[in-house]
Chains A and B, each alone.
Chain A
Amino acid sequence: MTSSCANSLAPELPAHKKTGMAEPVLREIHARLESFAATGQTGAIDLAGMPLTRADREALEAFLGRGEVSATLDVAGRSEIWETAYSGVWWVRHWGGDAVASELIEITAIPEILKTDRTDAAGAVKRLALTLQQRDRGSNGDGA
C-alpha cells in the first residue's frame, strides 16, 4: 500500500519487479526440506528478513502452490496457514489489522501455532467440567 503522495516524488518503486531473490529462498527451502525428510529437523524462514519485493513474494507463493491443508486462525487478528504443494512446507501468514505483520515458511510436520498447547487443554478440562456441572444442576432443577 503506497500513497499517491509518496509516489509523486519517489522513483519507480521496485515492488512490482522480480529481483531473483525468490530463487535462493527456494534453494534454502529445498535444503531444509531435505534435512527434515532425512532427520526430522524442523526449520523456519522469516520472509520479513529477506529483501523480497512484492513480485518476488508473489512468485514464491505461486511456485510453491497450495496443498491439501489450509487453516484460518482468529487470535490477535487473523492468520492464514496452508501447506504448500510440497508436503512439509507450510506458509504462515499473520495479519495485524489490515496489514501482514509477519510471514514465515515453516518446514515441519505441522506448524507449532496450529497445535493445542497442553496448558490450554488443562484450562479446557476445568471449563468443560464446570459447564457440565452447571448443565447437570440446571437439568436437575428442571426435573424437580
Chain B
Amino acid sequence: MKNVQSLGALMEERGVSRRAFLKYASYVASLMALPPAAAAAMAEGLAKARRQSVIWLSFQECTGCTESITRAHSPTLENLIFDFISLDYQEVLMAACGEAADAARHAAMADNKGKYIVVVEGSVPTKDGGIYSAIGGVSNLQMLQETVENAFAVVAVGSCASFGGIPKANPNPTGAVAISDLIGGKPLINISGCPPIPEAIVGSLSYILSFGKLPELDHLGRPKAFFGETIHDRCYRRPFYERGLFADSFDDDGARQGWCLYKVGCKGPVTYNACATLKWNGGVSFPIQSGHGCLGCSEPNFWDGGGFYRPLPTPLGATGTVLAGAAVAGAALGLGASHLARKHQKNYLAAPKSEED
C-alpha cells in the first residue's frame, strides 16, 4: 500500500480544506503545550506528509489501549488521525483475518521499507523461546523482531509494552519483557498508562507525522509533553496536601471533605502522567476526582509497588507520624511534608531499578 500522495492532496480529494489541518494542528499543539505559533508549521508539515503506514501489533495485553484510542474525547478532531495514517495491520480493527491479515502486514512492510511505524500494545514473553503467546504459529518475539527490522520508529503503547506491565508482574511466569528490551537501538517512544491517555497517543503520532522526528522524551522514553509533570503536581487536591489535610480512610470525614488521598495510598507524587489535566471520559473526571488514589499505572513495575492502598514510604519510615504532624501543624509543616514527598519520589523510583539490578 504505497502512499505517494500528500495528505493535503488526499484530503483535498475528499473536499476537506487546509483549514482542517490548521484546526487539528492547533488542537495538538495545545495538547502538547507547544507555542501557538507552532500550529502553522505543524499544519504545513501534516499537509506535506505522506499518509503514514502504521503496523499495530498486539501481544500480551487486554486491548484496553486500542479501546482508549478509539474512544476519542473530541471525535471530530481526534479521529482525523485515522485519515492521516494508514492503519495497515491491526488485528482488532481490520476486516481481514488469518493469512490475509498477515499478507497485509508483509505488504505494508515491503512497500514502506524504512518508513513505517510499528505500534506495539502488550509485552512480549521470552521464556522458553517465547512460546507463551503466538499468532498463527508465529511467536510474539519472532513477529516483533521481523516487523521492527525495517521500521522508522516504534511506539510502545500502554504500560505492558512500555515497561512489561501486568504480564511482567512478579512472578512473571512467561518471562515477559518491555519492547525496549527487544528492539536494539530503534527509535522508540513509550506511551505508558493502563490504559494510556488517547490524546498522548494521537499527539505523539501527529508530532512524528508533522515534524518527521520524535517529540522530546523523558528518561523513560515518554513524551515530556504528556509525562513532564506528576499527577500530584497538577492535582486539584494538592492544596490540601500542602495544608496537611488528609483522608485516613475512604469513608472518613477527610474523604468526604475531598482532602488529599496520600495516606490511603495515592501514588500521584511519584507518577508522571497527564490524567489530572486532560482527565478521562471527555474530561469528566479522573481517579482522584472520583475519590480513589492514583495507582501509578504509567510508572514501571506499578503492579509490584507493594499495594495500591499502602502509603508511599517516607525517608523517616514513619509516614503516619509525619503526615499526622503535618495535619496538626498546618501549612508550615505541610510544606515540609511536601519537601519530604519530593525525596520519597526519588527513593520510590529508584527502588525498582535496584531490584532489577
Binding site for B on A (CB under 8 A): 1-3, 5-6, 8-14, 43-46, 48-49, 73, 75-77, 79, 92, 94-99, 101-102, 104, 106, 112-113, 116-117, 119-120, 123
Q: When A9-B258, A10-B258, A112-B40 are in contact, do A101 and B18 touch as well, CB less than 8 Å?
A: no
- Measured between beta carbons, the chain B residues less than 8 angstroms from A11 are 237, 240, 257-259
Contact A6 B74 (CB under 8 A): no
Contact A46 B74 (CB under 8 A): no
Contact A76 B77 (CB under 8 A): yes
Closest chain B CB from A89 CB (angstroms): 14
Find A76's partner among B20, B29, B30 (CB 8 Å cutoff).
B20
Nearest-CB residue, chain A, relative to B34: A46
Among B18, B75, B259, the most chain A Cβ lie within 10 Å of the Cβ of B18
Contact A113 B255 (CB under 8 A): no
- Measured between beta carbons, the chain A residues less than 8 angstroms from B26 are 92, 94, 102, 104, 113
Chain B binding surface, main DSSP class: helix
Contact A44 B37 (CB under 8 A): yes
* Distance A124 CA – B224 CA, assembled complex (angstroms): 41
Q: When A49-B30, A79-B23 are in contact, do A120 and B18 touch as well, CB less than 8 Å?
A: yes
B290 in the interface (beta carbon within 8 A): yes
Q: Can you spell out 23 A-B residue pairs with CB atoms less than 8 angstroms apart?
A: A1-B282, A3-B284, A5-B285, A6-B284, A9-B256, A11-B240, A13-B236, A43-B36, A44-B36, A44-B37, A48-B30, A76-B80, A77-B76, A79-B23, A94-B23, A96-B74, A96-B75, A96-B76, A98-B282, A101-B77, A104-B30, A119-B8, A120-B17
* Distance A96 CA – B240 CA, assembled complex (angstroms): 34
* Distance A18 CA – B92 CA, assembled complex (angstroms): 46
Contact A94 B258 (CB under 8 A): no
B55 in the interface (beta carbon within 8 A): no
Q: List the count of A-B residue pairs having beta carbons below 8 Å apart.
A: 117
Interchain residue pairs A-B with the least CB separation, the first 4: A96-B74, A11-B258, A9-B291, A77-B76
10 more contacts with CB within 8 A, not counting A11-B258, A48-B30, A97-B76, are A5-B290, A43-B37, A46-B33, A75-B17, A94-B26, A94-B27, A95-B76, A96-B75, A101-B73, A119-B18
Closest chain B CB from A39 CB (angstroms): 16
- Measured between beta carbons, the chain A residues less than 8 angstroms from B30 are 46, 48-49, 102, 104
Contact A99 B257 (CB under 8 A): no
B12 in the interface (beta carbon within 8 A): yes
Nearest-CB residue, chain B, relative to A123: B12
- Measured between beta carbons, the chain A residues less than 8 angstroms from B257 are 11
Closest chain B CB from A92 CB (angstroms): 8
* Distance A10 CA – B24 CA, assembled complex (angstroms): 33
* Distance A75 CA – B12 CA, assembled complex (angstroms): 13
Nearest-CB residue, chain A, relative to B36: A44
- Measured between beta carbons, the chain A residues less than 8 angstroms from B73 are 96-97, 99, 101
Nearest-CB residue, chain A, relative to B47: A119
Closest chain A CB from B112 CB (angstroms): 25
* Distance A73 CA – B19 CA, assembled complex (angstroms): 9
Find A96's partner among B18, B27, B37, B285 (CB 8 Å cutoff).
B27
Nearest-CB residue, chain A, relative to B245: A11
Interface residues of B in 33-86 (CB under 8 A from A): 33, 36-37, 40, 47, 72-78, 80
Contact B256 A97 (CB under 8 A): no
- Measured between beta carbons, the chain A residues less than 8 angstroms from B16 are 75-76
- Measured between beta carbons, the chain A residues less than 8 angstroms from B37 are 43-44
Nearest-CB residue, chain B, relative to A98: B282
Contact B74 A99 (CB under 8 A): yes
B22 in the interface (beta carbon within 8 A): yes
* Distance A102 CA – B283 CA, assembled complex (angstroms): 13
- Measured between beta carbons, the chain B residues less than 8 angstroms from A94 are 23, 26-27, 77
- Measured between beta carbons, the chain A residues less than 8 angstroms from B24 are 76
* Distance A95 CA – B72 CA, assembled complex (angstroms): 13
Q: When A96-B74, A104-B36 are in contact, do A75 and B236 touch as well, CB less than 8 Å?
A: no
- Measured between beta carbons, the chain B residues less than 8 angstroms from A120 are 12, 17-18
Nearest-CB residue, chain A, relative to B247: A9
Nearest-CB residue, chain A, relative to B80: A76
B289 in the interface (beta carbon within 8 A): yes
Closest chain A CB from B110 CB (angstroms): 32
Contact A10 B76 (CB under 8 A): no
* Distance A12 CA – B8 CA, assembled complex (angstroms): 46
Contact B283 A6 (CB under 8 A): no
Contact A45 B36 (CB under 8 A): yes
Closest chain A CB from B67 CB (angstroms): 18
Find A112's partner among B22, B75, B80, B240 (CB 8 Å cutoff).
B22
